[in-house]
Amino acid sequence: MGAGIDIGPVPRSSIPINPAFQWSVGNWMDYFYDGLKEGKIRGSKCPECGKVSLPPRMVCQHCFAKCEDWVELPETGTVESFTMAHVKVGANGELEDLPQPEIIVMVKHDGADTCVAARLEGQNASVGMKVKAVIDPEAENFVNMLAGYRPAE
Ligand SMILES: [Zn+2]
């Protein structure tokens, strides 16, 4: 008896859609992305309970107050959870194999109370690992301006 469980090939289903979106992400996310253009990571802060959300939220997920305060957060954070991605959604909406598996991390920035999901550079991750944000202000698609994370030295 082997120690591992062989689950066989990963089941896949086709997603024949090719969404092209061009809508406003709203004032909160506009302000967040404007900050990234200047290399600043801005979280929203709840005036009632003081929780800091990154990505920013218009309404606090803890007490539902409107978050009109902002705080600038450091580039550093801690990996709370991670997974390995073997496929991505390609331009035609179909799943494509990645040339190399990628690590997707949930990162809680220092000073924030929520997590950001993004790619981690390299092939090693662990819970509790310190990481640093990789910001690309020139990204063609604004959602890629927070390009991912790399291990912090
Ligand atoms: Zn709150």
Round to whole Å and give the CA distance between 108 and 21.
28
Instruction: List the chain domain ranges.
Output: 26-151
Among 132, 3, 111, 110, which Cα is nearest to 50's? 111
Q: What is the tens place of the pLDDT at every residue in 63-89?
A: 999 998 999 999 999 999 999 999 888
3-state SS, residue 72: strand
Under-70 pLDDT residues of the chain: 1-4, 7, 15-25
So what's the pLDDT on residue 108? 97
**59 Cα: distance to centroid of ligand 1 (angstroms):** 8
pLDDT per position as a tens digit, 25-36: 678 888 998 999
- Cα(147) to ligand 1 centroid in Å equals 28
pLDDT of residue 24: 66
How far is it, in rounded angstroms, from Cα 61 to Cα 121? 30
- β-strands 69-73, 146-151: how paired? unpaired
Q: 64 CA distance to ligand 1 centroid (A)?
A: 6
Which residues hold their Cβ within 5 A of ligand 1, which is an ion?
Answer: 46, 48-49, 60, 62-63, 65
Centre of ligand 1 from the C-alpha of residue 88, in Å:
35
What pLDDT is stored for residue 53 in this prediction? 94
Are the beta carbons of 107 and 96 closer than 8 angstroms? no
Q: What is the pLDDT of residue 3?
A: 55
CB atoms within 10 A of CB 102: 18
